Structure 1
Amino acid sequence: MGDTSTTRTTATEDLCDMDGPVLKRLLKDDGSGSGGSSSSSGSGSGARCLLLDCRSFLAFSAGHVRGAVNARCNSIVRRRARARGSALSLERVLAGDEEARARLRAGLYAAVVLYDERTPDAGSVRADSTLALVRRALCADAPGAAMFLLKGGYDQFFSEFPEFCLKTKSLPVLSSQSSVESACSSCGTPHRDQGGPVEILPFLYLGSALHASRREVLDTVGISALLNVSSDCPNHFEGDYQYKSIPVEDNHKEDISSWFLEAIEFIDSVRDSSGRVLVHCQAGISRSATICLAYLMKRKRVRLDEAFEFVRRRRSIISPNFSFMGQLLQFESQVLATSCAAAAAASPLLAPTSAAVLGGSRPATPTSPFIFSFPVSVVVNPAYLHHSSPITTSPGY
């Protein structure tokens, strides 16, 4: 019992409880109520309260408190931090949210509110939880911040004040291959071209060549740039939209990973100019899906299985070919290795004792190319592959 008491004291030091009605008042004062802006109040220039959602990327994407920022870290760094009891840096916890980090360090937030799924109070926070890791990062890099835990977490707050939450509209249930084929034959339009491009992130869309060829579709979605991941799909509206082409075929010989960083930089440039980019190939199934997965892994610091499920929920027919999946696994290992190296540089206690191994293969170093040649021993989770359909290896996807 003594150990438990010490653990809880360490985990909740400087962390006070906050009731839902109090947070509601703070959100109303920050202009993030039901009638306010849906933009992030946490990183907004006039916000007084920073909300840190300490749940997974998938949970945050499904629904979160208005204005919240997703605070997370990849699983390898998190395990090492838990085991060694050391603090992570804000760069790891708030990857990709430079404004929130700068405002934190400048002491511009009157309060920082943390929450997870349903932790009832600060006394219940476990020392090895993401909540505790985020709290320690704040203590190390932003020691002046007043920290609070939202009692009952997101579940309780959403049940009491749903108008102060942003919830993703219900995504369609994933169809079986037979129902997909039935839908295609009944309407005469291939399933890949039905509807319009799907939103992956507010500035990032995934679709097919048909979507990219229809100006009314592009304008309806608000597309300002197109990333054409093919060697034969034309850029129909040169001069009217910003274009970038990645000339790769959909076959096992292609090294699509050599284009990952260039594609990520292009997507970032569109995001930074407040634009929206459509990533497409011929069918929006293999090549363009691979680029979107790589972007999520790099910028959201999520693993391949989490990124894959996130995209598949939005476009159920995605199915990168086996070689591309192998290259994504290698890219995952590099992203994780880079995160670990950065964390180790910030805290020597996090220095890795051995290289991480994913799927039985040695991870690429930050300077090595992502070459994936057959034969190779890579364990690919069957859930990555579109169920009931063969692995796509033929050109045109």
Structure 2
Amino acid sequence: MLLSQVTSTLFLSGADAPLNAALVTQKGITLIVNATLNHVCPAYPGVECLRVPVCDLPSARLSDHFDRVADRIHGNRGGGTLVHCAAGMSRSPALVMAYLMRHRGVTLRQAHHWVQESRPFVRLNSGFWEQLLQYERRLYGRNTVRVAQEPPPISRPLETAPLTGNRWVTLVPKSPLMSRPSQILQSQVLKKRGVS
């Protein structure tokens, strides 16, 4: 379970954190924003649950909820707010960025940096980025970021391979989810193929 603290009273997580009653109590959570279709809203005394029933697809209209969620987070003066989705990577960070723009007066660039500092593996889908860009334009009349298309994979000769034969490896942009075990697994596959 990973709970990320964005401000002194604002937290981001996946669907597991709100199920931990001790954690909710320890952090003084009085509002849970549940940005999922299927995950349960736990019932705790003195804790309100605000449901944002949106799926994590680029076509989903998360922006329909930006103002309502931002205003509710801002109005939660009695305690902390936990915003979560299934993994805490796309829907909930987008909602938090909308809040930061609306009530903390920051640009989308600043809001993204702020959220990413507390939760480095944030990865919004392209549709939510576009909706945040439109929201920033509506709030400030301009955009401070541009969403670039992801470059196609680059193919290069495998440097560690012998020069006999044509061995190519495809390099893809580094994912924030790439972990050490996947890199080890990749090297084991190369060894099995006779590439050392």
TM over 0.5: yes
Q: Name 1:37's counterpart in structure 2.
A: none
Residues in 1 aligned to 2:57 and 2:175: alpha-carbon distance in whole angstroms: 17
CA contact (8 A) 1:301 1:335 kept: no
Aligned-partner residue type, residue 66 of structure 2: F
Is residue 11–residue 82 contact of structure 2 (8 Å, CA) maintained in 1? yes
Question: Which residue of 306, 320, 324 maps to 2:110?
Answer: 306
Q: 2: CA distance between counterparts of 1:204 and 1:379?
A: 26
| Partners of 2:26 and 2:146 in 1: CA distance | 41
C-alpha deviation, 1:379, in angstroms: 3.7
Q: Write the letter of the residue equivalent to 1:243.
A: C
CA contact (8 A) 1:290 1:328 kept: yes
Structure 1 equivalent of residue 161 of structure 2 = none
Alignment-mate amino acid for residue 133 of structure 2: L
Instruction: Tell me, in whole angstroms, the C-alpha distance in 1 between the residues paired with 2:79 and 2:61.
Output: 28
1:225 pairs with 31, 47, 61, which one?
A: 31
Distance 1:299 1:382, change over 3 A: farther
SS at match of 2:5: strand
Corresponding residue SS for 1:268: helix
Describe the shift of the 1:227–1:233 C-alpha distance in structure 2 as closer, same or farther (beyond 3 A).
same
Cα deviation for residue 389 of structure 1 reads 2.1
Q: Name 2:47's counterpart in structure 1.
A: 241
TM-aligned CA deviation for residue 323 of structure 1: 0.5
Partner of 1:201, secondary structure, is coil
Number of equivalences: 155
Residue 380 of structure 1: aligned partner: 147
Letter in 1 for 2:96: C
Separation (CA, whole Å) in 2 of partners of 1:201 and 1:256: 22
Q: Name the residue aligned to 2:92.
A: 288
**Aligned-residue offset at 1:381:** 5.1
Distance 2:26 2:91 in 1: 24
Structure 1 match to 2:175: 389
Instruction: Return the alpha-carbon distance in structure 2 between the equivalents of residues 381 and 305 of structure 1.
Output: 14
Quote how far apart the aligned CAs of 1:237 are: 1.9
Shift of 1:319: 0.9
| 2:29 match: secondary structure | coil
Contact 2:74 2:103 in 1 (8 A): no
Larger relative CO (CA 8 A, sep 6+): 1 or 2?
A: 2
Partner SS, residue 16 of structure 2: helix
Residue from 301, 305, 323 that aligns with 2:127: 323
Shift of 1:238: 5.1
SS at match of 2:60: coil
Structure 1: which 5+ residue stretches go unaligned? 1-192, 338-355, 360-377, 392-397
Provide the rounded CA distance (Å) in 1 between the counterparts of 2:70 and 2:59.
22
Alpha-carbon distance, 1:390 to partner = 8.2
Question: What is the TM-score with the length of structure 1 in the denominator?
Answer: 0.37
Q: Which residue of 2 aligns with 1:268?
A: 74
Match of 2:5 in 1: 199
% of aligned pairs identical? 28
Q: After superposition, what is the alpha-carbon deviation per residue over 1:315-360, rounded to whole angstroms, capped at 9, x for unaligned?
A: 11111101000100111111103xxxxxxxxxxxxxxxxxx5x48x
Other-structure match for 2:159:
none
- The one-letter amino acid paired with 2:81 is V
Deviation digits for residues 83-110 of structure 1 (CA, Å, limit 9, x no counterpart): xxxxxxxxxxxxxxxxxxxxxxxxxxxx
TM-score, with structure 2 as normaliser: 0.72
Q: CA deviation at 1:247?
A: 0.2
The alignment partner of 1:257 has SS state of helix
Q: Is the 8 A contact 2:71 2:99 kept in 1?
A: no
Distance 1:301 1:224 in 2: 24
Secondary structure of the corresponding residue to residue 24 of structure 2: helix
User: Runs of 4 or more off by more than 4 Å in structure 1?
Assistant: none
**8 Å CA contact 2:31, 2:47 repeated in 1:** yes
Residue 380 of structure 1 aligns to which amino acid in structure 2?
A: V
Which structure has greater helix proportion?
A: 1
CA deviations 1:114-147 (Å, max 9, x no partner) are xxxxxxxxxxxxxxxxxxxxxxxxxxxxxxxxxx
In the TM superposition, 1:1-397 aligns within 5 A as: 193-194=1-2, 197-237=3-43, 239-271=45-77, 274-337=78-141, 356=142, 358=143, 379-380=146-147, 388-389=174-175
Specify whether residues 288 and 315 from structure 1 end up closer, same or farther in structure 2 by C-alpha distance, changes over 3 A only. same
Are 1:227 and 1:279, in contact at CA under 8 Å, matched by a contact in 2?
yes
| 2: CA distance, partners of 1:390 / 1:242 | 32
Counterpart in 1 of 2:164? none
**Distance in 2 of aligned mates of 1:332 and 1:300:** 13
